[in-house]
Amino acid sequence: MNVTTFGLISIGVAIASFVFAGWLYSWVKKQPSSNVKIAEVGKLIRQGAALFLNKEYKVLARFSAVVALLILLFLPQPIWKGNILENVIMAIAYILGTVFSGIAGKIGIQVATIANVKAAEAAKEGIKPSFMAGFRGGAVMGMAVVGSSLLGVAAVLLATNNTTALLGFSFGASSMALFAKAGGGIFTKTADISADLVGKVELGIPEDDPRNPAVIADNVGDNVGDVAGMGADLFDSNVASMAAALVMASALDKGTNGTTFQSMVFCYAALGLLASIIGVGFARIGKNGSPTKALNNSTYITTGIYIVLTALATLAFGFEWRIWGACVVGLVVGVIIGIATDYFTDDSKKPVHYVAKASNSGPAFTILSGISYGMLSVLPAMIGIAVAALASYKLCEDINPMFGISMAAVGMLSIVGMIISNDAYGPIVDNARGLAEMGDLGDKVLEITDELDSAGNTVKAVTKGFAIAAAGLTVIALLGAFKSEVLTAQAELNLAKFTEESLNFAIIDPLVFFGLLIGAAIPLVFSAMLMLGVDRNAQRMVAEIHRQFKEIVGLKEGKEGVKPEYDKCIEIATTGALKELIPAGLVAIIATLLVGFIGGVRAIGGFLTGNIVSGLLFALFMSNAGGLWDNAKKYVESGHEGGKGSVAHKAAVVGDTVGDPFKDTAGPSINTQITVCSLVASLLSTLFLTMSIF
Amino acid sequence: MNVTTFGLISIGVAIASFVFAGWLYSWVKKQPSSNVKIAEVGKLIRQGAALFLNKEYKVLARFSAVVALLILLFLPQPIWKGNILENVIMAIAYILGTVFSGIAGKIGIQVATIANVKAAEAAKEGIKPSFMAGFRGGAVMGMAVVGSSLLGVAAVLLATNNTTALLGFSFGASSMALFAKAGGGIFTKTADISADLVGKVELGIPEDDPRNPAVIADNVGDNVGDVAGMGADLFDSNVASMAAALVMASALDKGTNGTTFQSMVFCYAALGLLASIIGVGFARIGKNGSPTKALNNSTYITTGIYIVLTALATLAFGFEWRIWGACVVGLVVGVIIGIATDYFTDDSKKPVHYVAKASNSGPAFTILSGISYGMLSVLPAMIGIAVAALASYKLCEDINPMFGISMAAVGMLSIVGMIISNDAYGPIVDNARGLAEMGDLGDKVLEITDELDSAGNTVKAVTKGFAIAAAGLTVIALLGAFKSEVLTAQAELNLAKFTEESLNFAIIDPLVFFGLLIGAAIPLVFSAMLMLGVDRNAQRMVAEIHRQFKEIVGLKEGKEGVKPEYDKCIEIATTGALKELIPAGLVAIIATLLVGFIGGVRAIGGFLTGNIVSGLLFALFMSNAGGLWDNAKKYVESGHEGGKGSVAHKAAVVGDTVGDPFKDTAGPSINTQITVCSLVASLLSTLFLTMSIF
């Protein structure tokens, strides 16, 4: 069997995942819903999310058109130098990347904004039906994302037989992720912070009070940031890991007159999706079971199924066991990192208790202790990634060591369908909680939705650690892809500028070191710009909320029939998010271009490395500290350290507010930033090779 | 003229600096002081500082004895394999390093705790005499530190003619710095936070109220953290930069049958000290002049003098102009980094205003905006270091490029005498302010000491940026020294394990990458442990303060003659600081050993690089964010955004409390941590070479 067969099989599995997603979707739709108030608010949320997506896609379309034009003119080579057809293919692949990711996001949002209503109503019947509605709603997103990424990659490769085009597709996915994840992250935190500042702090009204003009924007935010954004982020990582592996596999296959290595990539990726389908299908919760356990068990089951399936395939098709080993190492390490990360955010463990206790001395101590534990939390993940990289490299040393690392990344991301399902579950049940409150479904229902929500938070921390680690391995693999691209370009141009060894990027090479230092600074600058963007945007929104409370008669008093202008707030959050995002994205891209055109490919090698290392540190630190503060607040609210209204609670709320943009805007967006820089570098490798100053 | 002559000249200049320091000391002592109350409190501070130093030196002595014994047994080679004499020399050099640094610290503290009293009293006469007392007091420390470091390095090299012994001396200095800087940093913030928590927050008494049992500890803290600690830190960096340069210079000289390169190192270092002596001697302030300007002008003048003097020397002795160029590049970039860093903490610039304004929305926004600007602030310094490294490398490419970088570090640190003088001025006038308050010297005097104090804060931010950048360049040079050591060891052992090129540390080498990821995590773990240490220690001290207020009758009411037990608080701060520091230091050292014995010298190359890059990022981020919060609070207190007592002020105080351990404990201690790891690696290079798993 050759790569075409495996590519077609992959497409088949992808289609199966769509069919499965369709079944899940209709199941969710069939669940009962009767409450008029909930239906009304649910509709507002759905419309708001659609408003954001449409606006975002419009801006993205313009942005992509410009980028596609630039690609057409310059990549992989300036149009007047190279083969025009290649440029056309690249531009089309790029656009396909944005479109495929966009469709998956649209589907995910669509079902998530139905599932939230269903989960809220189902909570009246107990935890089991509510859990299933939330989980299966999230699973639609998981299936859509992984199905469309596998479909896209397989289709592009089979149609073009050109791995560089895959990088174009991957870059399209990255552009989309930049808008969806970073833009969505700014949106969601703008709305969250503004709603809290005016509602909870100034007026003292409850969190999801419908009088608050920002309340719908806040609920929309959960969906656009955590569902669509996270989906686009993992679509991006997943595509990038496959692209990096396929670039190197194709180079390996060239020597062998076969397509074994490319076949393996498809085979393992398709089996990952299959394992996820099975895992999702069998996910269940007991009548009074723990939702956290149910979610985690599905992950472990999927992992087990994947290992067995790939082992059988490796045996059946006579694949190389060492590469299978790299794959499994990646996956197992990913799960371990997830569990280790959980320690720092779990509300039954020491860090959360410590931060809650420190809060008794005031907010400064909430912050200091949270930052300290956030910093400590990077260690297990860094060790895990280091060990996974070293082990997979050593395993595949005689084949192509960087290919080994890329397969570890593919392995780590293999069960991403399951991961996304778990992750999208979170915002759905979070929304369901808000809807239950707005629909006055009573305390018993709120208790259930609270428990489901809390499970969502815990699982989210685990999946975030997983996602960041996977992105880390992927970009390490992209470094290998970059080297591969440079050598190929050099050969095509008949240049002999670099030996293979000189592209191993020696740290003592001053150009590499130069790039390293600058690359390391970029994630900090990028995060800071996003956080300042949230701050500025929140100021605009607060002004709008103030205006509405002042101008709309009877709103503050909650007069019957008086409604705030929810759409104005959504409008502000949307416009502001896109406006604040673009400069941050451009800084990252321009820095890559500057370093590349000044220092050449060796400086880029250093730049990407610095970017990866510092990006991993800050992504882990910010995500974990944010999750820790969130759970410390919830821990205090559940009655510890004085409970609600105590000194500790006030301090914990400050921690949570700081943590919000940490964990939902800046932290996870760094993933996307490093992938974008890596892909820009790979795509421009020919230009950097021929046109740099040094 | 050969290296012996230049070494002797260096010793001569060092002695001249001691004579000058003696003159400054006697000048300070001669200044009038008459206020009994101030004298009494001053004495308490002096005694408290002595108590800390004695205790610290005792712990350090035991620690050093153990390390010296280990050195004797194992370094540079296990005693049963190598030349015993070399081990003895190394152990003695190590002890000398701790002793020289200790003496300089002791002298500095001695004069600082006299100068604070003098500066307080002189403020009655106006800004000019008060400034001079503070500045000249600080300058004694500057002269003592640089004089003794130059003397030590020259004496060790002339006596042993063995550059590896220099690394031993340097490691001694690092051990001292670890205790003085990190230990002092924990001490000072323990006292500061505890004093504020009980005094300002709980009881509402003023900052320097003598009823507060922690008030003397707080004043002692300024001296042990900022004077002794900072001095030991820069002693360490200065010695390390010279040692790294001399290690490589000696390798270069081997080929030439001369000693030119080593001579240059001494010549340029001695001229730096000379320039600082002149700069300090001519430092003046007009009758109503700005102290900030006076301090900055001295720095610029010293820089100018240094450039001229070294140019003349290069001409006179026929030195290599390109190396002079590297030296000047380092110095100029250092000054530029200092100025750029200033932007982020200066209270007339946007970041401080932005943070102050954001504080109106509550502490979460103080923290978020401060963290964001702190993250942005790393960019100029990272670019500066990258450019300095690249430029000095390229300049000296044909000589020995890493030697070029080490000379840039020597250049950047050349005016360190001046830098320390400016820096030590800060805590002296800060103390003077407290004394003036406790001695009831009146509002006019407080106004003057406030202005002097504020200048101290501004200058401190600049010098911190400078110190971190210099440490960065130094450790890059140490990476070169490490390579040099490995190659030398290999040659001596007749091994051929590594080619010269394979020790350039290729990022794509999995062992290098493995080390890189783990090394990058260490500064975060180290900082977090120190900050948690401050937290724990402050809890102990708060308990003690509570006890005193409860048990000592009449203390709270301020009854005549009733005094708190100041020494108990000092005792707690001291014991706790040393106890909390040791695990953090051990983690860094053990991580180095683990990576070295597992991954060997290539993994260590990656480890040191990751350590440097992430260390620079976090040191800059934490120091600058801390300085920014401090100044934002002062800016609000001076009447902006509602002034004292406003919402913004309360929030700004939270920012300042978070910033304190950032800027005075964790941030600047990272310097020391990376130097310690670098030196451990260099010293153990032979062992890593012969005994690693991979």
A chain contacts of residue B389, beta-carbon cutoff 8 Å: 510, 513-514, 517
Residue B51 CB neighbour total at 10 angstroms:
18
pLDDT for position A339: 83
Per the structure block, which two tokens stand in for B33?
A: 């002081």
User: Residue B325 — pLDDT band, cuts 50, 70, 90?
Assistant: very high
The whole-angstrom separation of Cα A329 and Cα B72 is: 42
Alpha-carbon B297 to chain mean position: 22
Whether residues B528 and A372 touch (CB distance < 8 A) is answered with yes
> How many A-B residue pairs are in contact by the CB < 8 A criterion?
230
Residue B625 has pLDDT above 90, yes or no: yes
Mean pLDDT of A429-442: 86
User: Residue A612 — pLDDT band, cuts 50, 70, 90?
Assistant: very high
User: Residue B679 — pLDDT band, cuts 50, 70, 90?
Assistant: confident
Mean pLDDT of B423-433: 89
User: Residue A497 — pLDDT band, cuts 50, 70, 90?
Assistant: confident
**Cβ–Cβ under 8 Å, residues A220 and A48:** yes
User: Residue A588 — pLDDT band, cuts 50, 70, 90?
Assistant: very high
Which residues lie below 8 Å from residue A222, measured CB to CB, with a gap of 6+?
A: A188, A427, A430, A431
Residue A612: enclosing H or E segment and its boundaries?
helix A566-637
Per the structure block, which two tokens stand in for A158?
A: 């089979």
For residue B439, the number of C-alpha atoms closer than 13 Å in the C-beta half-sphere is: 29
Pick A508's closest partner by Cβ from B383, B483, B614: B483
Pick A513's closest partner by Cβ from B368, B369, B389: B389
The whole-angstrom separation of Cα A226 and Cα A215 is: 16
Cis peptide before B76 (omega within 30 of 0): yes
Q: Is A580 on the interface with B (CB under 8 A)?
A: no
> In chain B, which among 348-377 make CB contacts under 8 A with chain A?
358, 361-365, 367-369, 371-376
Whether residues B613 and A616 touch (CB distance < 8 A) is answered with no
- From residue B598, give the alpha-carbon distance in Å to each of B480, B583, B694: 21, 22, 6
Q: Is A490 left (phi over 0), alpha (psi -120 to 50) or beta?
A: alpha
Whether residues A389 and B507 touch (CB distance < 8 A) is answered with no
Per the structure block, which two tokens stand in for A417?
A: 């369908």
Task: Give rounded-to-5 percent helix, strand, coil for chain A.
Answer: 85, 0, 15
pLDDT for position A562: 85
Nearest to B295 by CA among B425, B141, B401: B425
Q: Is B194 on the interface with A (CB under 8 A)?
A: no
The whole-angstrom separation of Cα A191 and Cα A199 is: 11
Q: Is B266 on the interface with A (CB under 8 A)?
A: no
Residue B425 has pLDDT above 80, yes or no: yes
Q: Is A196 on the interface with B (CB under 8 A)?
A: no
Pick B401's closest partner by Cβ from A393, A394, A510: A510
The whole-angstrom separation of Cα B384 and Cα B270 is: 25
Nearest to B149 by CA among B231, B91, B64, B263: B231
Q: How close A556 gets to chain B, by Cα (Å)? A: 21
Residue-wise pLDDT for B266-279, tens only, equals 999 999 999 999 99
Nearest to A3 by CA among A166, A234, A170, A145: A166
**Cβ–Cβ under 8 Å, residues A329 and A391:** yes
Q: Which residue of B has its CA nearest to A529?
A: B372
Which residues lie below 8 Å from residue A558, measured CB to CB, with a gap of 6+?
A: A211
Pick B372's closest partner by Cβ from A374, A383, A531: A531
ipTM score? 0.91
Q: Is B380 on the interface with A (CB under 8 A)?
A: no
Residue B302 has pLDDT above 90, yes or no: yes
Alpha-carbon B200 to chain mean position: 29
Nearest-10 crossing angle of helices A260-282, A127-160: 160
User: Residue A498 — pLDDT band, cuts 50, 70, 90?
Assistant: confident
Q: Is B647 on the interface with A (CB under 8 A)?
A: no
Residue-wise pLDDT for A523-552, tens only, equals 999 999 999 999 899 889 988 998 998 888
Beta bridge partners of B506: A506
Q: How close A232 gets to chain B, by Cα (Å)? A: 25
**Cβ–Cβ under 8 Å, residues B542 and B198:** yes
Indicate which of B372, B400, B478, B542 best probes the interface with A, i.e. most A CBs within 10 Å of its own CB: B372
- From residue B629, give the alpha-carbon distance in Å to each of A528, B193, B277: 16, 15, 34
Residue B642 CB neighbour total at 10 angstroms:
15
Residue B30 CB neighbour total at 10 angstroms:
8
pLDDT for position A68: 93
Q: Is B79 on the interface with A (CB under 8 A)?
A: no
Residue B145 has pLDDT above 90, yes or no: yes
DSSP states along B534-596: HHHHHHHHHHHHHHHHHHSTTTTTT-TT----HHHHHHHHHHHHHHHHHHHHHHHHHHHHHHH
A chain contacts of residue B363, beta-carbon cutoff 8 Å: 363-364, 654
**HEC states along A269-328?**
HHHHHHHHHHHHHHCCCCCCCCHHHHHHHHHHHHHHHHHHHHHHHHHHHCCCHHHHHHHH
Nearest to A253 by CA among A323, A349, A186: A323
Q: How close B74 gets to chain A, by Cα (Å)? A: 28
Residue A492 has pLDDT above 90, yes or no: no
Whether residues A606 and B507 touch (CB distance < 8 A) is answered with yes
Q: Is A587 on the interface with B (CB under 8 A)?
A: no
* Residue ranges per structural domain of chain A: 3-691
Whether residues A524 and B402 touch (CB distance < 8 A) is answered with no
Q: How close B614 gets to chain A, by Cα (Å)? A: 7
pLDDT for position B209: 81
Residue B605: enclosing H or E segment and its boundaries?
helix B566-637
Q: Is A409 on the interface with B (CB under 8 A)?
A: no
Residue A84 CB neighbour total at 10 angstroms:
11
**Cβ–Cβ under 8 Å, residues B631 and B292:** no
pLDDT for position A236: 92
pLDDT for position A608: 94
**Cβ–Cβ under 8 Å, residues B313 and B53:** no
Q: Is A647 on the interface with B (CB under 8 A)?
A: no
User: Residue B649 — pLDDT band, cuts 50, 70, 90?
Assistant: very high
pLDDT for position B312: 95
Which residues lie below 8 Å from residue B97, measured CB to CB, with a gap of 6+?
A: B152, B168, B169, B170, B171, B172, B173, B174, B175, B176, B239
A chain contacts of residue B326, beta-carbon cutoff 8 Å: none
Whether residues A508 and B508 touch (CB distance < 8 A) is answered with no
Residue A683: enclosing H or E segment and its boundaries?
helix A667-683
Q: Is A73 on the interface with B (CB under 8 A)?
A: no
Residue A162 has pLDDT above 90, yes or no: no
Whether residues B510 and A393 touch (CB distance < 8 A) is answered with yes
Q: How close B510 gets to chain A, by Cα (Å)? A: 5
Residue-wise pLDDT for B461-497, tens only, equals 777 777 788 888 888 888 887 888 888 888 888 887 8
Residue-wise pLDDT for A206-245, tens only, equals 777 888 888 888 888 888 888 888 889 889 999 999 998 9
Residue A494 has pLDDT above 90, yes or no: no
- From residue B511, give the alpha-carbon distance in Å to each of A479, B589, B693: 16, 19, 11
pLDDT for position A304: 94
The whole-angstrom separation of Cα B299 and Cα B278 is: 11
DSSP states along B62-123: HHHHHHHHHHHHHSSS-TTTS-HHHHHHHHHHHHHHHHHHHHHHHHHHHHHHHHHHHHHHHG
